[in-house]
Amino acid sequence: MSAASVQGAGHGTATALAIDVRGLTKRYSGRAVVDDVSLQVRSGRICGFLGPNGSGKTTTIRMLCGLLTPDAGEGNCLGFDLRTQANEIRRQVGYMTQKFGLYEDLSIRQNLDFVARLYEIADRRGAVDRTLERLGLAERQHQLAGALSGGWKQRLALAACLMHEPRLLLLDEPTAGVDPKARRDFWDEIHSLAAQGITVLVSTHYMDEAERCHELCYIAYGKTLARGTEAQIIEEAGLVVWAVQGADVATLVEPLKAAEGVLSVAAFGSSLHVAGRDAAQIERAIAPYRDRPGLRWARTDANLEDVFISLIATAQDNFASSDPKRAQKTSRRSA
């Protein structure tokens, strides 16, 4: 079946939800690396997929695009059944992996032509030409992929993902290791694609990128900890946050982390955010330092980083000891 005919079939089964999966679970050696994850993303939306390293993001993405079969769970991706129609899903998804996956000894044009052959795209030359222009690669089309900087490799990888005109992009930490301008240009392109109706699920560790997403899903140790818009997640976290500024705030980090009721202590330049859910406990934790000379304390609003660090502090490591005390220590160290 050609890519064009598959695309037509997909549109016939499309719904308002580009991703609609429930209870996704994947185990390795008896350990659940993805544990009962559910995710719904509407068409044309950008969903930020966040979580610490090893949280199950990549495994989830691979199940969504049909590269892995879940051990449990069900649902649809682009209107196709996750279990029985994986081939159809792969035809309409653009998957950008963490590691650059194209041929470094081929030129930009040769790589795109190769991808066009894989997808049996009619008028390959025209498709390659349009993609080169679309991503600003035309002037570099004869440059070897291996000679490109990180930002240009990223742009080439995105171009390869778009060759077959997918309806869903799954981007696994696409901006890791690229400079700020390349990241900004990349996100401008992602928003342009979303405006054209393409759905995007993008994993990232950058909070400024998370803030550019329409909605967010945060997982840790294989479990979903938070879902919703930025405002919804911050509100539902119910955090009480104190900010402290001063020359010696670094000396407060460890004692405050160890204090009862403190879920996170995060540095922001020359200030610290101390967060928890119980206002009285937080005030008792900071009380010994409130009158220290040179420190300025003030209540402040929680931000996404406060929320996510606090979430990981309370999460159960799926590879940690079954001893609750050791598991709690492991969670605090990861925060």
Task: Decide which of 3.40.630.30, 3.20.20.70, 3.40.50.300, 3.40.50.360 is the CATH code for 3-232.
Answer: 3.40.50.300
Domain ranges within the chain, ordered by starting residue: 3-232, 239-334
CA dihedral 240, 245, 246, 247 (to 10 degrees): 90
Predicted confidence (pLDDT) per residue in 285-327, tens digit = 999 999 999 999 999 999 999 999 999 887 777 666 444 444 4
Predicted confidence (pLDDT) per residue in 17-53, tens digit = 999 999 999 999 989 999 999 999 999 999 999 998 8
Q: Which pTM does this prediction carry?
A: 0.85
Q: Which residues of 5-36 are buried (b: 16+ CB within 10 A; e: fewer)?
A: ebbebbeeebeebbbbbeebbbeeeeebbbbe
pLDDT given at position 319? 63
194 three-class SS? helix
User: What CATH number belongs to 239-334?
Assistant: 3.30.70.260
Confidence of residue 281 (pLDDT cuts 50, 70, 90): very high
Q: What is the enclosing helix (H) or strand (E) of 42?
A: strand 31-42
Whether 191 shows a pLDDT value over 60: the answer reads yes
